[in-house]
Amino acid sequence: MRAHAAEPLRMSQVAAAAGCSVRTLGAVFPCFRGKTPLGVLQAIRLEKAHRELCMAARGQTVGAIARRHGFTNAARFTAAFRRRYGDAPSEILHRAWRRQG
């Protein structure tokens, strides 16, 4: 999931990679990871987007970074990001720009 996080992933693809059915994946995944497969995928995408926002060069946009990491809805991305990190993605981006001088 981490290697293909930016791509549109179907749970059938994840299940096939794990060698099980979608139903089995949904039933056992939370036992091992504490989250659903979609929850883990979102966490991976948020982590990668956060990392990129922290190192972003001037001129990069939140929307472009979000899309690169598989987020197609800006409002949902911002809400999920804020829940996870406590700041809006734009705040992280502006901090990165200020550090660059």
Every domain of the chain and the residues it spans: 11-100
Average pLDDT over residues 14-32: 94
* Residue 69 confidence (pLDDT) above 80: yes
* Residue 101 confidence (pLDDT) above 80: no
Q: CATH: 3.30.70.3040, 3.30.230.10, 3.40.50.620, 1.10.10.60. Which one for 11-100? A: 1.10.10.60
Mean pLDDT value across the chain = 94
Looking at this protein, which amino acid is placed at residue 55?
M
Average pLDDT over residues 21-46: 94
* Residue 74 confidence (pLDDT) above 90: yes
Q: What is the pLDDT of residue 100?
A: 87
CB atoms within 10 A of CB 43: 16
| Phi, psi of 89, rounded to the nearest 5 degrees | -55, -35
Looking at this protein, which amino acid is placed at residue 3?
A
Average pLDDT over residues 71-81: 96
d(CA 21, CA 65) in angstroms, rounded, equals 32
- How many CA atoms lie within 13 Å of 16's alpha carbon, on the beta-carbon side? 5
